[in-house]
Amino acid sequence: MAEDKFPGWHGTTIIGVRKGGRVVVAGDGQVSLGQTVIKGTARKVRRLSPGGRDVVAGFAGSTADAFTLLERLEKKLEAAPGQLARACVELAKDWRMDKYLRNLEAMLIVTDGADLYVITGAGDVLEPEHDIAAIGSGGNYALAAARALIDSDLDAETIARKAMAIAADICVYTNGNLTVESIAK
């Protein structure tokens, strides 16, 4: 995926923080087209309930592509209930191998409250170190802020919110209108 043909990389920040038996996924609401803000209140974090089991997913990149991937992930979870890792690996394999899917330009953070993964179109299913995952244009800023806060007495949601506020102050493609979803083991 050439970054120059994928302007979606420069349009969001998503963070997942696991601490104290909870995982919080937070995403900003800004949608940018080039240097223009198109919308400030988009929801890039979703709760999925395939087979009655909750999974929280956040996405960066093309919205239509992300929704296609989320639909596929739901089907994988329905086929393998309670097996998030397996569903993620199956999605990543399809994403990498399928002629249509391999052109999709997005990244996902997914969690069932126990496991936390980043899924990419390169076929990666990554479990982040330090219980923090971040993607999107402001992802590295949010990641650094959350890493600095993770050993504090703050809970997962507070860490995610503070990290997103720092990212929004630094990254012009990230705003402070957050969607936050929390899920326990």
- Residue 10's pLDDT is what? 53
> Is 12 part of the annotated catalytic residue set?
yes
Whether the Cβ atoms of residue 8 and residue 124 lie closer than 8 Å to each other: no
Q: Is 66 annotated as ligand-binding?
A: no
pLDDT value, residue 7? 44
Judge whether 171 is annotated as a binding position: yes
The kind and range of the H/E element at 149 are: helix 139-149
Residue 75: per-residue pLDDT: 94
Is 88 known to sit in a ligand binding site? no
Average pLDDT per 10 consecutive residues for the chain, totaling 185 residues: 45 94 97 88 92 89 89 93 94 88 90 96 92 96 98 98 98 96 94
**CA 135/CA 50 separation, integer angstroms:** 24
The DSSP secondary structure of 61-115, one letter per residue, reads E-HHHHHHHHHHHHHHHHHSTT-HHHHHHHHHHHHHH-TTGGG--EEEEEE-SS-
What's the pTM? 0.91
Which member of 12, 63, 111, 179 is catalytic? 12
Give the distance from CA 35 to its chain's centroid: 22
Write down the pLDDT at residue 49: 85
CATH pick for 3-179 out of 3.30.460.80, 3.60.20.10, 3.90.180.10, 3.40.50.300: 3.60.20.10
Please give the biggest Cα pair distance in the chain. Answer: 47
